[in-house]
Structure 1
């Protein structure tokens, strides 16, 4: 790899020359490098998982382009050099994050974030034996981050299981033990 300083010829050239040399620009610098070919190594398990995840994300992004409302939503969030397809892939690739679960006077308060949007939070209350006592959807609070679920009964020794779901359908579960 070579960094090109002041070359009038290479200021305008980008791409591959003769299947041997690649010229590209990164962070404002022109770089010349040997053309890379496909790897001869067997992919690792993590690489295969990442490829599968990217395949799912790309399929989601293609489906999003068919829905005018969702396409407009992603397009609205796009910055310079981005488009709705790129952002849909980014959204599908990353699951929402549950930052906190707390109890406030019989109400389960869940702080859930996603780079784009959390669309629902499902709350399940289980007793000490693991049997589900109740289940319902939490309601989004005014701050756009906290979700509220009024529980009928919170048994000691039981647990509250919370699942946050984002726009592409990625789910993130988390549980809180009741004492």
Structure 2
């Protein structure tokens, strides 16, 4: 992809030239790119799913930028990458779900008051982390919200119920980001 900063040849070109080249302006430069070609054949189910995800993300980003209360737009503005605007930052956040990287159970002994630590990350911000603890037989022992630690990455959950049979206990952590995307991880003790 070639680019130009207002040369005497390309000037302020914008648009398509002869169905071969496209001129557009980005960050004060004229960008020259190959013209897109029409798609051949029907889209695959994966492409349709991605188009649906992108449609939802674009509606979310538009809602962020058009909202009269600009608090969310200002929050996204603090996390812009180079050559990125609020719309594209919100779109990117909506397309990427948070990831629960690990569930640390080394302090969980089955007693009420034990700590379980969850590491959850997102490209922008994780808003909530919920924890569910299931007994070995599959029955739900407890569930609740974890509290974010001061490091901004980890979340702590304090157990409220005693668990006499620790072997086979399943712990599920579910993280949610600003647009409402969810990511989860499950471990068996």
> How many pairs align?
173
Q: CA offset at residue 126 of structure 1? A: 0.3
| Counterpart position of 1:114 | 122
Report the alpha carbon displacement of residue 101 of structure 1 after superposing the two structures with TM.
Answer: 0.7
Matches within 5 A, 1:52-131: 52-65=52-65, 66=67, 67-106=69-108, 107-131=115-139
Deviations 1:47-82 (A, max 9, x none): 111111101111111222214211110112224432
TM-score by length of 1: 0.84
CA deviation digits over 1:83-118, x for unaligned, max 9?
Answer: 211111000000011111111423110011111100
Question: For residues 180 and 33 of structure 2, what CA distance do their matches in structure 1 show?
Answer: 42
Give the corresponding residue for 1:134. 142
Aligned with 1:153 (options 162, 172, 188): 162
CA distance in 2, matches of 1:29, 1:85: 21
1:27-66 correspondence runs (5 A): 31=32, 33=34, 35-65=35-65, 66=67
8 A Cα contact 1:14 1:22, kept in partner: no
Change (3 A) 1:136 1:12: same
TM-score (norm 2): 0.80
Does structure 2 conserve the Cα–Cα contact (< 8 Å) formed by 1:3 and 1:30? yes
C-alpha separation in 2, matches of 1:145 and 1:167: 15
- CA RMSD, 1 decimal: 2.6
Secondary structure at the aligned position of 2:105 is classed as: strand
Supply the distance in 1 between the matched residues of 2:31 and 2:88 (Cα, whole angstroms): 25
1:162 aligns with 2:173: yes
Contiguous gaps of at least 5 residues in structure 2: 109-114
Sort the Cα spacing of 1:11 and 1:46 in 2 relative to 1 into closer, same or farther, 3 A.
Answer: same
